[in-house]
């Protein structure tokens, strides 16, 4: 399942997975566009998913649960970048709701399918913008002093904190599912529509920006590389991590802050009302795993 699988990087990831024999679920707000993309790809289907709506997330997860007896890969890819302040129907700040809370809920609701599938992976797409984030997670719902770029950076830091905390919890039990993250570098997609004309011009330069197909490669490495380890982070290895061949990269020290990870998890549970299922019960196993 690829969120935002109908366009941009998500489409390229979906097409690559389908070409490797996966049946792919393209999750998108626009089911017409997703259906057309699925027809182009082949071996794919569309599911409606609006990450800004917790109800829509629940409906999509229920549909997947009812129709899929296994889930090898969940690619948490969809997102928005530097959009004006808005609140969702659930009362959440829009960027945080789409980029983090929607995926937090979706992953939790699909965890039983993932845990039941040997070797399954959760890959969450972050951004190098996470390095600019100043950790203020308790203020994610406040309009005061809202800055679109800061809100985006916060959400991308949240993607990594979520990934690392999820992996910590999976590793605390004998779960075969692993959590990884990736970032695509600077990619020429529709996410830049709210940026300045100068920024849009600059990313057309080949050493400052790359295609959606190139941006998909770190995500595909996280999803498919047999040598990938739990908690790995992949991205372009070229200058400034904007472009280049994919490989393992390091995220910011803040993204590895254990207290921040737990605080975000508790905040997310409180906002969404979702408590993740007991992995011990889901796997039928117990006892801690040694560090990987």
What pTM does this model have? 0.90
Q: What is the pLDDT of residue 283?
A: 47
Strand order in the sheet with 233-236: 44-48, 24-28, 2-3, 73-76, 121-125, 178-182, 233-236, 246-248
Q: What is the pLDDT of residue 108?
A: 97
Q: What is the pLDDT of residue 199?
A: 57
Q: What is the pLDDT of residue 174?
A: 84
Q: What is the pLDDT of residue 10?
A: 96
Residues with active-site annotation: 152
Q: What is the pLDDT of residue 280?
A: 43
Q: How many CB atoms neighbour CB 278 within 10 A?
A: 9
Low-confidence ranges of the chain (pLDDT < 70): 138-142, 188-209, 278-292
How many residues does this entry show for the chain?
292
Give the CA distances from residue 186 to residues 63, 134, 199, 221, 251, in Å, rounded to whole numbers and listed in that order.
33, 21, 11, 17, 16
For β-strands 44-48 and 178-182, DSSP reports them as: unpaired
Query: What is the Cα Rg of the chain in Å?
Result: 18
Q: Are 163 and 181 in contact (CB under 8 A)?
A: yes
- Closest CA relative to residue 156, chosen from 187, 130, 177, 123: 130
In the chain, domain spans: 2-282
Q: Which helix (H) or strand (E) is 271 found in, with range? A: helix 258-272
In the CATH scheme, what is the homologous superfamily, with its name and number, of domain 2-282? NAD(P)-binding Rossmann-like Domain (3.40.50.720)
Spatial separation of the C-alpha atoms in residues 171 and 191, rounded to whole Å? 34
pLDDT tens across 23-64, in order?
A: 999 999 999 999 999 999 999 999 999 999 999 999 999 999
- Closest CA relative to residue 68, chosen from 38, 33, 24: 24
């Amino acid at each position: 399942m690829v969120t935002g699988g109908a366009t941009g990087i998500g489409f390229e990831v979906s097409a690559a997975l389908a070409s490797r024999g996966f049946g792919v679920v393209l999750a998108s707000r626009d089911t017409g566009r997703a259906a057309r993309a699925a027809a182009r790809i082949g071996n794919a289907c569309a599911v409606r998913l609006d990450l800004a709506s917790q109800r829509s997330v629940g409906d999509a997860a229920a549909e997947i649960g009812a129709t899929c007896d296994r889930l090898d890969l969940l690619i948490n890819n969809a997102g928005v970048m530097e959009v004006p302040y808005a609140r969702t129907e659930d009362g959440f700040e829009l960027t945080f709701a789409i980029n983090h809370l929607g995926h937090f809920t979706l992953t939790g609701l699909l965890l039983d399918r993932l845990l039941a599938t040997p070797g399954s992976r959760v890959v969450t797409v972050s951004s190098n913008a996470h390095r600019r984030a100043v950790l203020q997670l308790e203020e994610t719902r406040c309009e005061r002093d809202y800055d679109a770029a800061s809100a985006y950076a916060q959400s991308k830091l949240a993607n990594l904190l979520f990934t690392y905390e999820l992996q910590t919890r999976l590793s605390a039990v004998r779960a075969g599912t692993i959590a990884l993250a990736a970032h695509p570098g600077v990619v020429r997609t529709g996410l830049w529509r709210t940026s300045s004309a100068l920024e849009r011009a600059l990313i057309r330069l080949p050493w400052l920006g790359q295609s959606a197909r190139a941006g998909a490669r770190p995500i595909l490495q996280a999803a498919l590389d047999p040598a990938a380890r739990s908690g790995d982070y992949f991205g372009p290895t070229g200058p400034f991590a904007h472009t280049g061949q994919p490989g393992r990269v390091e995220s910011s020290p803040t993204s590895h802050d254990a207290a921040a990870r737990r605080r975000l998890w508790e905040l997310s549970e409180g906002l969404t009302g979702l408590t993740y299922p007991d992995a011990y019960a889901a796997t039928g196993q117990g006892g801690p795993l040694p560090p990987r």
